[in-house]
Amino acid sequence: MSRPLRVIIAKAGLDGHDRGAKVIARALRDAGMEVIYTGLFQTPEQIVQTAIQEDADGIGLSILSGAHMTLFPLIVEQLKAQGAQDIVFFGGGTIPPEDADELRRRGVQAIFTPGAPLSEIVSFVEHECGKRRELVG
C-alpha cells in the first residue's frame, strides 16, 4: 500500500483569516491525506520550500485579504524556478470570478470560492494529486 497523499495548506502574506484553511486541512485529513498546515504569514518562497522538503503532492493556498493577484502568481513562479511544476497548486478565498479565470490561465489549477462543498475540494485534490503521484511515484 502506497503512502497517503501529502498536501500543504498554506496562508501567505499578512492575511490572518485562517478559518477556511483550517476547515480544508481537517477535511483533507479526514479523507485520509497527510496535511501540513504552514501557519500564517508565510512568503511564497517559504511555502514552495516546505512543499519540496516535505515531498508534497499538492499546495493549497488560502487568501481572503485581496492580495490573491499578487501572491498566487508568485507561487507559480517559485514552483517553476524550483522545477517543481509537478506539484498540484490550487487555492481559495474571496476571489472574484474574473480574477479566478485569470489565475487559472496563469497556472493555478483550481480556485474554490466560499460555498464550494468540501466534498468537491476533497475529490479534486484526491484526483489531481493522485495523478501526480502516479507520474512521479
Binding mask 2-41 for another protein (x = CB under 8 A): -------x---xxxxxxx-xxx-xxx-x-----x-xxxxx
114 is a site residue for another protein (CB under 8 A):
yes
* Burial class for 66, CB neighbours closer than 10 Å (0-12, 13-18, 19+): middle
Residue 51 belongs to what H/E stretch?
A: helix 44-53
Amino acid at 15: D
- Phi and psi at 38, nearest 5°, equal -75, -20
Q: Which is nearer to another protein, 19 or 105 (CB)?
A: 19
129 is a site residue for another protein (CB under 8 A):
no
| Contacts with another protein, residue ranges (CB under 8 A) | 9, 13-19, 21-23, 25-27, 29, 35, 37-41, 65-67, 69-71, 94, 96-97, 113-115, 117-119
